[in-house]
């Protein structure tokens, strides 16, 4: 029987980061991955009908990757990773030809807000100023460490003025925060869109600080040169250099537990692989606790918590990908030439009230009026298309269960892709002639490829008050340890959650090293 110090389940970026760190600490590790390729949400594929056109089918906008501790610790640039951070980071195109712009330079962002409302521009500056230290001294360190129990966290925060301010702002919902602080409907819509719609239910109290933190963050969207998968390749190289192995097309059938301790994995092919020290699952709670553990090993209260685990209603994405003769040229660009170099472009969103509509449609399983956002990656990285050509994509948030059943997507996909293209053409008329090829991907396709993103939830678990921090994935379970000694969690269902942050894998690494009595500092020096 093959035997390792540890086995990681799932070779997404969180699993690979954990594996590379533990390899550097001297442990012999194996990662088992069900797909034919590692990287999970870091996926770049070539259009089979149009060779040379590369498309990032999952994560594309990656926030502050180059500032992440693991990016430096694992020397990912030495392993080939490179990031690009375009200065005009986000542009929201309004129906009347205007644009709300977010720049890496805050003064340019403030100037853009002032075109809509001078008062909102002042408010933006004020919140940015106030939240810079809160973000730097509290929120960033929290996102990189094991979460404290809420009472302990509150007591610690209450000791400082910055902490008390954070508690006060977070008592609001993002919607309340935005309505209270800003006046212009497009500014409000933009603020909610950038943060709220992607991550939390805008109506839920406890998340009011998210928008202020976003305003203060120096971290903007970055893109990976060579496609998102290039980061996965760099992580794989770091794993290989540390002596780790990744076994593709290998699905675990069960986690083997002996004398109460996790000691290995049995694959779907019936092979037993031993783990002397640990097993770390980057999968969702249903997969880890229900699919992979024998019933007798899961106490009723844990089973019930797994069954109650919620996925984000608003997370599923529909994607339209284009192969192009030339990049989209936005009509608004005649007045604003800078739009030709915008990274993220948002269309269909003018007014904050549209959010209620979007939520209502998601609850009903129907398609709302289109709000979409995307990019033309080849403007910044020509390597993602044949010479002189381009790729571009748009995403839209759409319900996983279309008219009650996700299977309905297979029949509705193409028609919806055409509707998105029609809106895109209104803003970029040159698309009438520029499109060489296209394809769509529905929320159902996401789950087919990455079943851990249950119900199309690309964040692998809702951000609600009882599923964040110390309570992610369950109440009191935010320790990365499970009820079975030797079995750990390291994926997006753990704090601080989904997206390409690598932080669940990073924090799980510290926990496992600590439990093995290995000093992280010494092991990784
Ligand atoms: C369309 C789309 C767009 C997105 N856009 C962005 C974006 O712009 N920015 C951003 O930051 N994030 C984005 N995300 C979200 C991001 O991709 C995820 O949150 C992130 O990939 C989660 O990382 P992870 O390592 O926890 O899990 P994953 O990346 O999902 O990796 C999990 C791995 O486990 C494997 N696996 C699953 N089940 C099993 C099993 N039973 N046995 C073995 N292996 C298994 C999977 O194949 C996968 O390789 C997007 C996601 C999608 C789908």
Q: In 41-159, which residue ranges form alpha helices assigned H by DSSP?
A: 69-73, 106-116, 118-134, 140-143, 150-158
pLDDT at 198: 59
Which of 83-87, 207-211, 220-224, 478-482 is the least confident region? 207-211
- Give the rounded percent of residues in the chain with a pLDDT score beyond 90: 90
Is pLDDT above 90 for 268? yes
| Ligand 1 pocket, residue 58 CB under 6 Å | yes
| Ligand 1 pocket, residue 10 CB under 6 Å | yes
Instruction: Please count the other Cβ atoms lying within 10 Å of the Cβ belonging to residue 179.
Output: 14
Confidence of residue 199 (pLDDT cuts 50, 70, 90): low
| Ligand 1 pocket, residue 62 CB under 6 Å | yes
Is pLDDT above 70 for 451? yes
Instruction: Please count the other Cβ atoms lying within 10 Å of the Cβ belonging to residue 299.
Output: 11
358: tokens are: 């979007």
Mean pLDDT along residues 266-273: 97
Is pLDDT above 90 for 334? yes
285: tokens are: 């709670």
- Is there a contact between 57 and 439 (Cβ–Cβ < 8 Å)? no
Rounded to the nearest angstrom, the distance between the alpha carbon of 33 and the centre of ligand 1 is 12
Q: What does the pLDDT look like over 459-498, one tens digit per residue?
A: 999 988 789 999 999 998 999 999 999 999 999 999 999 9
Rounded to the nearest angstrom, the distance between the alpha carbon of 454 and the centre of ligand 1 is 11
Q: Tell me which residue has its CA closest to atom 14 in ligand 1.
A: 59
Is pLDDT above 70 for 525? no
| Ligand 1 pocket, residue 506 CB under 6 Å | no
Q: Rounded distance, CA 86 to CA 95, Å? A: 24
Q: What are phi and psi of 155, to 5 degrees?
A: -60, -40
| Ligand 1 pocket, residue 34 CB under 6 Å | yes
| Ligand 1 pocket, residue 354 CB under 6 Å | no
The one-character DSSP state at 148 is P
180 burial class (0-12, 13-18, 19+ CB within 10 angstroms)?
Answer: exposed
CA 292 to chain centre: 25
What's the pTM value of the predicted model, to 2 decimals? 0.97
Q: What does the pLDDT look like over 4-51, one tens digit per residue?
A: 999 999 999 999 999 999 999 999 999 999 999 999 999 999 999 999
Q: Rounded distance, CA 275 to CA 261, Å? A: 10
Mean pLDDT along residues 366-386: 97
| Helix, strand, coil tally for the chain in percent (to 5) | 45, 20, 35
CA 241 to chain centre: 27
Confidence of residue 265 (pLDDT cuts 50, 70, 90): very high
Is pLDDT above 70 for 399? yes
Atom of ligand 1 at shortest distance to CA of 395? 1
Angle, to 10 degrees, between the axis of helix 150-158 and the axis of helix 161-170?
130
Rounded to the nearest angstrom, the distance between the alpha carbon of 517 and the centre of ligand 1 is 30
Q: What does the pLDDT look like over 289-322, one tens digit per residue?
A: 999 999 999 999 999 999 999 999 888 999 999 9
Mean pLDDT along residues 373-402: 97
Confidence of residue 203 (pLDDT cuts 50, 70, 90): confident
Confidence of residue 359 (pLDDT cuts 50, 70, 90): confident
| Ligand 1 pocket, residue 74 CB under 6 Å | no
pLDDT at 358: 87
Q: Nearest 10 degrees: CA dihedral of 24, 26, 32, 33?
A: 0
Reference 292, options 256, 345, 248, 246; nearest CA is 256
308: tokens are: 């109650």
């Amino acid at each position: 029987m093959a035997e390792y110090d540890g086995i990681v389940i799932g070779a997404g970026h969180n699993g690979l980061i954990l594996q590379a760190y533990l390899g550097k600490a001297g442990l012999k590790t194996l990662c088992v991955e069900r797909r034919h390729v590692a990287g999970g949400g870091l996926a770049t594929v070539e259009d089979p009908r149009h060779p040379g056109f590369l498309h990032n089918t999952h994560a594309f906008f990656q926030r502050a990757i180059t500032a992440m501790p693991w990016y430096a610790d694992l020397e990912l640039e030495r392993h080939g990773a490179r990031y690009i951070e375009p200065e005009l980071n986000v542009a929201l195109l309004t129906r009347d030809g205007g644009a709300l712009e977010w720049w890496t330079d805050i003064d340019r962002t403030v100037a853009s807000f002032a075109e809509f409302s001078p008062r909102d521009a002042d408010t933006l500056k004020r919140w940015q100023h106030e939240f810079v230290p809160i973000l730097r001294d509290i929120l960033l360190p929290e996102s990189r460490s094991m979460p404290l129990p809420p009472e302990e966290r509150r007591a610690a925060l209450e000791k400082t003025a910055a902490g008390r301010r954070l508690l006060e702002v977070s008592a609001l919902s993002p919607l309340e925060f935005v309505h209270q602080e800003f006046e212009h409907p497009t500014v409000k819509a933009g603020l909610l869109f950038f943060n709220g719609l992607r991550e939390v239910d805008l109506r839920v109290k406890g998340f009011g600080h998210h928008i202020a933190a976003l305003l203060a963050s120096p971290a903007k969207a970055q893109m990976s040169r060579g496609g998102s998968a290039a980061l996965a390749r760099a992580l794989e190289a770091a794993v290989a250099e540390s002596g780790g192995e990744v076994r593709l097309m290998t699905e675990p059938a069960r986690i083997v537990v002996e004398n109460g301790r996790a000691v290995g994995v049995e694959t779907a092919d019936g092979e037993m692989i031993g783990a002397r020290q640990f097993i770390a699952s980057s999968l969702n709670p249903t997969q880890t606790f229900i699919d992979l553990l024998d019933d007798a090993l899961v106490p009723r209260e844990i089973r019930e918590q797994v069954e109650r685990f919620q996925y984000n209603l608003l997370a599923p994405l529909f994607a339209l990908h284009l192969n192009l003769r030339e990049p989209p040229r936005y009509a608004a660009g005649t007045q604003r030439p800078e739009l030709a170099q915008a990274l993220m472009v948002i269309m269909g969103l003018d007014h904050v009230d549209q959010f209620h509509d979007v939520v209502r449609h998601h609850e009903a399983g129907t398609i709302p009026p289109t709000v979409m956002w995307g990019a033309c990656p080849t403007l910044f990285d020509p390597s993602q298309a044949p010479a002189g050509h381009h790729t571009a994509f748009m995403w839209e948030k759409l319900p996983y269960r279309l008219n009650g059943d996700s299977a309905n997507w297979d029949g509705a996909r193409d028609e919806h892709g055409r509707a998105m293209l029609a809106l895109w053409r209104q803003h970029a008329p040159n698309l009438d002639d520029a499109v060489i090829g296209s394809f769509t991907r529905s929320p159902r396709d996401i789950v087919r490829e990455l079943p851990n993103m249950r119900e199309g939830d690309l964040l692998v678990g809702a951000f609600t008050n009882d599923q964040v921090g110390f309570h992610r994935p369950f109440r009191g379970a935010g320790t990365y340890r499970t009820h079975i000694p030797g079995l750990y969690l390291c994926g997006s269902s753990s704090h601080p959650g989904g997206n390409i942050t690598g932080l669940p894998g990073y924090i799980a690494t510290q926990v496992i090293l600590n439990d093995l009595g290995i000093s992280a500092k010494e092991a990784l020096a």
